[in-house]
Amino acid sequence: MKRRTLAAPIALLAIGAAACTQPADRVSGNLSKAADNFEINRRIVFYNGITDTYMLTVEGRCSLGNNDTTGQLTVTCKLGPDQYKKHFLGLSDNVTYFVEQTDPADADEYRYRVIFRPESVLPDPEVN
């Protein structure tokens, strides 16, 4: 019985803590979600620190990998309504990258974003 009575206050504390985030953190999170949904144009530049040269530039509506292993970066770019390209890039102690948001984007500091993917909730089965 005690577990049930503690669940509601704990949930309210968690919601309250989330609501107390700084406006910059909320905006940053919203921009990251927008970029992961291919809504923001980016320029990703790979740079060799030893040779002082730019190695590669990827531009477009691109999302960086969120679960990449150490020393690897995946970049997925949207080319059209149903067209994507995914790049696998290796990083080392002398190769680094930076990401530039090339266009301004609207982000509301008073709202957060929750994005549901219908295809994740109701998968589209293949019928042969």
Q: Using CA atoms, how far apart are residues 8 and 3, in angstroms rounded to an integer?
A: 9
Q: What is the pLDDT along the chain (128 residues), one digit of tens a residue?
A: 444 555 555 554 555 555 556 788 888 888 888 899 899 999 999 999 899 888 989 999 999 987 888 889 999 999 999 999 999 998 888 988 889 888 888 776 666 666 666 655 556 666 76
Q: Are 65 and 81 in contact (CB under 8 A)?
A: no
Q: What is residue 1's predicted lDDT score, i.e. its pLDDT?
A: 47
Model-wide pTM > 0.75? no
Q: Using CA atoms, how far apart are residues 54 and 70, in angstroms rounded to an integer?
A: 21
Judging by beta carbons within 10 Å of its beta carbon (0-12, 13-18, 19+), is residue 44 exposed, middle or buried?
buried
